[in-house]
Structure 1
Amino acid sequence: MDAFLRRLPKVELHAHLNGSVSRETIRQLLAAHPPDSPLHAEFAEFERQCSLESFSSFFGLFRFVYAVTGTKAAIRAIAKQVVLDFEADGCTYLELRSTPRCGTGDLGSKQEYVDACLAGTQDALQELAARGVAMDVKWILSLDRRHSLEAGLDTVDLAVANMHRGVVGVDLCGDPEVGGFLQLKPAFSKARAAGLKVTLHMAEIESQGQDTIDMLDFGPDRIGHGTFLSGESRDRVIRDAIPIEVCLSSNVIGMTVPSIEEHHFNHFHFQGHPCVLCTDDRGVFACSLVHEYSLVEKHFRLSHADMVQLALKSVDYIFADNETKQRVRSRIDAFKAAEAL
C-alpha cells in the first residue's frame, strides 16, 4: 500500500515551512557554521534525547531551524529542499505557509524573506521540470496570534503585493493560549477584500470556545486542525461545509487526541464532511504525506479507490485558481486510469 500511496498524486494544504525542515537539512546547514559553534554539540544532544513519545522533547527542533535559517541563502535553501521532499513523497500540489520575519543575518525586511521563499520554490520547480516532473506550489503567509494588528496588516499587505507570484492566502497561527482572533480580524478582512483566501488554526485546545465562535462568524475558507470542535461550533462547521486540514500524526504525537481511531477525522470524513490529510510539521513529527494516508488506510480500512477519491476531493479545497485545480485533477485522473480504478 505504501508504494501505491507514494505513486498517488497527493495534495498538501497545511505545511509550515520551518516545521517541515528535515534533520538532514539542519545538519547540512549546520556544517556551514564554525566548528567551534556550540550549536553542533547542542544539536547532537538534542538528537540523542529526542523522542516522539514526549511532546516537549522534540519541540526544541524549532530552535535549531531558526538558528540555521537566519540568512536569505538559508531560507532559499530550505524552501527548495522542503518542496523537493514533498515531491519525493508524491505531492503534486503544495501550499506552504510561513510567518515572514527579518532582523537576522542579511534578512533586512520581511519582503526579502518572502523573496527567498519564492526563489527557493522556483529553484525546486526548475530542477523538477528538468526531470520532467510536474508540480504546483503556492504560498500562504501566516499571522501569529502573538503579534499586533499593525504587524498583521503588514503581513497582509505583503501577501497582497505577492499574489501575482504565487501567494494565495493568509493563515492565523501560533500559541492558541495567546491573543485572540478578534484583535487581528481587521487584517483578515483586508486580506479577503483583496481576493486572498483565509485559513485559521481553530479549536486546537479545549478552552478556545469563544475564539472559535468568533472565527466561525468570520467564515474561514478552511480550518486548521479543529481538534476540539463540539456543540454549536461543530454544527456550524458541518452546516457550512468548511474543509478541515487534518493532521493526524501531529495531533496524536502532540497529545491533543488519544489515538488515530479516536481522531475527529473518523467522525467528519465518514459523515461526508470535507477533510484534507496534511502533515503540519513533517520535519518535527518525522512524518510524511504517504504516512498520513497510510494511517487512514490502515486504521479505517479504506481501499485503493477510496484513497484516490480522498486525494481527488482535496483538489476542491485548494486556494489556487480553477486552471490550477483542473491541472492537478488531470494528474490524479491520469493516475486513476493507469491503475484501472
Structure 2
Amino acid sequence: MFKLVHSIVNDLDSLYQATCAVIDDFANDGVVYLELRSTPRAIAETDVTQDSYMRTVLRAIRDKTSESELGPYDGKRRPIVVRYLAAIDRRNSVEHAMETVDLAIKYKEQTGLVVGVDLSGDSSIGDATTFVPVLVKAVSHGLKLALHLAEVDGIVNETSQMLELCPHRIGHGTFIHPKYGGTQQLLDQTRSLQIPLELCLTSNVKGQVTPSFEKHHFQAWHRMKHPIIICTDDKGVFATKLSDEYKCVMDVFKLSRDDMLDLAYNAINYIFEDDSVKDSFKQYFTSWRESLKN
C-alpha cells in the first residue's frame, strides 16, 4: 500500500493535493490539533528534492490552517492547528536522514511549523541505532523525537539503546511490555522515563503484529496509568479515522465517556508544543467538555 501511494504521489502538485486532503479529513473528523508526519524524498526523474518536498508540505499546512488565538469553546468548531514532523525512514541511509534533519532545523527556524523528527519504517530492516547521531543533532536544535520502537519481536537490544535517547514519544511500542513479548527491562525503562506511547489499534491489527483488538497492549498500559495517546498511524492505508480509533478503544475495553474524555485531555500534555499552547488547548477542551453537560 505504501509503495502504491508513493507511485501515485509522484510530483509536487499531487503531494500538495494529498496533504490538503489529509488535513481536511482530520478537520472534518473534529480534530483540532494534528502532527502530520511525512518522509521528505526526492522523486526519480523529476525535479522533486527533499527540500522542495518539505516546502510543499509546509505550504499545504499554511494554506489549510488558521493560527488565530485559541480561546474558550464558543459553540463553534475550532479551525485545525497542524504541525509537521519530518520523518526518517530507517530503510534510507544515514546521509539521507541527516539531510532531513538539516531541513527540519532550517524550516523550524523559518516557519515554526516543524516541531519534531519521527523515526519509522520497516523495523525488521536495518539498525535504528545507526541514526543516533542524527537524532541527537535534532534534539540539540530544539526538535522533539517520536521514535517507532519495538514494532516487531526480537529487537530488545536496539529498543533498549534507543530508549537511552529519552524520546519524547514512542510509536507503537508493541513488544515492550513482557506480557506482549517484551521484557521487564524495557518496561522498567519506559515506565521510569514516563515516555508516552502512541497507540494505533487498527494499524496493529491490520498489520498483524497484534492478533486482535481485545489482545492489544493498550489495556496493560492503561491499567498502569501510563501516558497514552490514541493515534491513527496512516489513516489512508489503514482506512480509519481518529474518532473510529476512540470508539474502538471505548467499545473493546468497556471504557466510559469520561474515560475517553480523560484520554483526549491528557494527550494535550504530550503534543510537541510549549506550555502556553498546551494551556490554551486545555482551556478550550475544558470549556467544550463543560458544554456537553448542558
TM-score, normalised to structure 2, is: 0.90
Correspondence for 2:186? 233
Equivalent residue for 1:112? 52
Query: Hey, what does 1:69 align to over in structure 2?
Result: 9
Matched, 1:302 2:255: yes
Amino acid at match of 1:174: G
The letter for the 2-side match of 1:240 is L
Q: Which runs of 5+ in 1 are unaligned?
A: 1-60
**Superposed displacement of residue 253, structure 1:** 1.2
**Correspondence 1:261 to 2:208:** no
User: Where in structure 2 are there 5+ consecutive unaligned residues?
Assistant: 70-75, 177-181
Cα separation, 1, equivalents of 2:274 and 2:124: 34
Farther-moved stretch of structure 1 (191-200 vs 66-75) = 66-75
In 2: Cα distance, 1:112 partner to 1:183 partner: 26
What is the alpha-carbon distance in structure 2 between the residues aligned to residue 156 and residue 223 of structure 1? 19
CA deviation string 1:179-223 (max 9, x = no partner): 112211000000011111011110001111111011111211110
Tell me what 1:203 maps to.
150
1:326 and 2:279 correspond: yes
Instruction: Give the match's secondary structure for 2:91.
Output: coil
Q: CA deviation at 1:261?
A: 1.9
Kindly indicate which of the two structures has a greater share of residues assigned to helix: 1
Tell me the residue number matched to 1:175.
122
In structure 2, the residue matched to 1:163 is: 108
Q: C-alpha deviations, 1:146-200, integer Å up to 9, x for none?
A: 2222211111101100114210011111111111122110000000111110111
Structure 1 Cα separation of the partners of residues 208 and 94 of structure 2: 31
Q: How far did 1:324 drift? A: 2.1
Question: Does the Cα contact within 8 Å between 2:27 and 2:79 map onto a contact in 1?
Answer: no
One-letter amino acid of the counterpart of residue 265, structure 1: F
Please list the CA deviations of residues 4-36 of structure 1 after superposition, one character each: whole Å capped at 9, or x if unmatched. Answer: xxxxxxxxxxxxxxxxxxxxxxxxxxxxxxxxx
Q: Is the 8 A contact 2:19 2:60 kept in 1?
A: yes
Q: For residue 54 of structure 1, what is the aligned residue in structure 2? A: none
Q: Deviations over 1:216-271 (max 9, x none)?
A: 11211110000001220011111211000000011111111112221111000111
Number of equivalences: 280
Counterpart mapping for 1:183-222 below 5 A: 183-222=130-169
Return the match for 1:278 from 231, 239, 259: 231
**Which deviates more from structure 2 when the two are superposed, residues 147-156 or residues 105-114?**
105-114
- Describe the superposition over 1:17-68 as per-residue Cα deviations: whole angstroms up to 9, x where unpaired: xxxxxxxxxxxxxxxxxxxxxxxxxxxxxxxxxxxxxxxxxxxx32332122
Q: Distance in 2 between matches of 1:132 and 1:279?
A: 21
Any idea what SS the aligned residue of 1:283 has?
Answer: coil
Q: Distance in 2 between matches of 1:194 and 1:265?
A: 32
Task: Tell me the equivalent position of 1:8.
Answer: none
> What is the DSSP-based 3-state SS (H/G/I as helix, E as strand, rest coil) of the residue aligned with 2:55?
helix
1:101 is aligned to 2:41? yes
Query: Does 2:270 align with 1:317?
Result: yes
RMSD of aligned C-alpha atoms? 2.0
Distance, in Å, in 1 between the alignment partners of 2:251 and 2:150 is 26
- Give runs of aligned pairs for residues 28-43 of structure 1, distance below 5 A: none
- Decide which of 74, 94, 100 is 1:149's aligned counterpart: 94
CA contact (8 A) 1:222 1:244 kept: yes
Q: Deviations over 1:263-293 (max 9, x none)?
A: 1110001111000000001111111101110
